Amino acid sequence: MITEYVLFALPPGITRAQVLAGMREVAPRWRAEQDLVRKTFIYDPGANQAGAFYLWKNRTSAEAAHGEEWRSRIRASYGSDPVVRYFETPLLVDNAMAMIIEAEAQVEER
């Protein structure tokens, strides 16, 4: 599994309601991603930033979902370039599901 961290600056003056509306607008699109396990939207009003943590089955799917077309939408919507980082996720504790999930060992060529 891969955890993808995405963070971008928000335009000055944007309200929490506007940020939340944007999250609600795109949420259904992420339900269609077969290799996306979970997406957690994040918002930091003090730093005027938003983004998400994504849990993916693999990095290839994460990168495909966040290509240039997606980056262009972020730039057009928020006026900033997103920062994207990837982390191997070998173990997940999911208290909501009362599970500990261990990822299968995988090596992805870079």
Predicted TM-score of the model (pTM): 0.89
Of 67, 59, 92, 73, residue with least CA distance to 26: 73
**C-alpha to C-alpha distance for 104 and 90, rounded to whole angstroms:** 8
Query: Which residue type sits at 97?
Result: M
Per-residue HEC secondary structure of 89-100 comes to CCEEEECCCCEE
Q: What is the CATH number of domain 2-102?
A: 3.30.70.100
Sequence ranges of the domains in the chain = 2-102
Is 48 in a helix, a strand, or coil?
Answer: coil
* pLDDT (0 to 100) of residue 97: 87
**C-alpha to C-alpha distance for 5 and 79, rounded to whole angstroms:** 19
> pLDDT tens digits for 79-105?
999 999 999 999 999 899 899 999 876
Arithmetic mean of pLDDT over the chain? 93
